[in-house]
Amino acid sequence: MQNELKIALIQSDLTWESPTKNRQNFTKKIEGISEAIDIIMLPEMFTTGFTMNAKFVAETMGGNTVLWMKEMALKANAAIVGSVVISEKNNFYNRLLFIEPSGHVTFYDKRHTFTLVGEDKVYSSGKEKVIVHYKGWKIRPLICYDLRFPVWSRNTEDYDVLLYVANWPEPRVSAWDALLKARAIENMCYCVGVNRVGVDGVNSKYSGHSGVYDVLGNLMTGFEPNEEDVQVVNLEKRHIEAYRNKLKFLDDRDTFNIN
């Protein structure tokens, strides 16, 4: 078991619907990280931006982006996390990939597709909860709009970390800030959110606000709005255990089933 987990958050602009250019951009940013890292987090749909043009940009699980993630995870000796447009069995998925240095792949398909822009008409919704067991930590990966639905993220598995990758637009970024903090507090876990910056191909603007919150909802990062940046945060198991043992709020959680 590893008592500390070091996570690098990459807040970046994205080139619209250009997987090659985006992979080149993130290659430089990942290679620029000079310290040992356990997990490197990229935004939602990091190769394309939040596009509904799935037929044009979709890749397979054996495609160039998955191969690139495996290569970068091995080179960086860190897990690489981000979501990609994936085509599988005649369906499209907004799929988060958690790829370890060993090449092991865990994936999570976004459950809450964003109906406001018709994501539900293009992408199939995921049905499965996923817990990643990595270096002695239990990690729950989720995607963007999932953040608005606390029942889906409720900590019934005693996980340690929530990870959100996002393309969360600037007009509603105050909700992003508030909900990341709330998810950390109510689940007594670290909550990590990586959002993009810049303007996409349908003129939506993104201001970042990537962040890491501790069990008490304290912000541990200092990203500047609208700026590309890479920040590294060290998570500690003892922080989680100390407050869970002292406060015991999770002992009083409700029981429920999700259909």
Residue range 4-252, CATH number: 3.60.110.10
Catalytic one among 17, 100, 144, 191? 144
Give the start-to-end residue ranges of the domains of the chain: 4-252
pTM of the model: 0.97
Encoded tokens for 86: 């994936």
Residue 44 catalytic? yes
Kindly state the percentage of the chain with pLDDT values over 90: 98
Angle at Cα 118 formed by Cα 114 and Cα 173, nearest 5°?
40
Q: Is the pLDDT of residue 257 over 90?
A: no
pLDDT tens-digit series, residues 51-96: 999 999 999 999 999 999 999 999 999 999 999 999 999 999 999 9
Name the pLDDT band for 256 (thresholds 50, 70, 90): confident
pLDDT at 143: 99
Residue 31 catalytic? no
Sequence-ordered list of residues with C-beta below 8 angstroms from that of 131, at least 6 positions apart, any chain: 138, 139, 140, 157, 159
Cα dihedral across residues 151, 155, 159, 161: positive or negative = positive
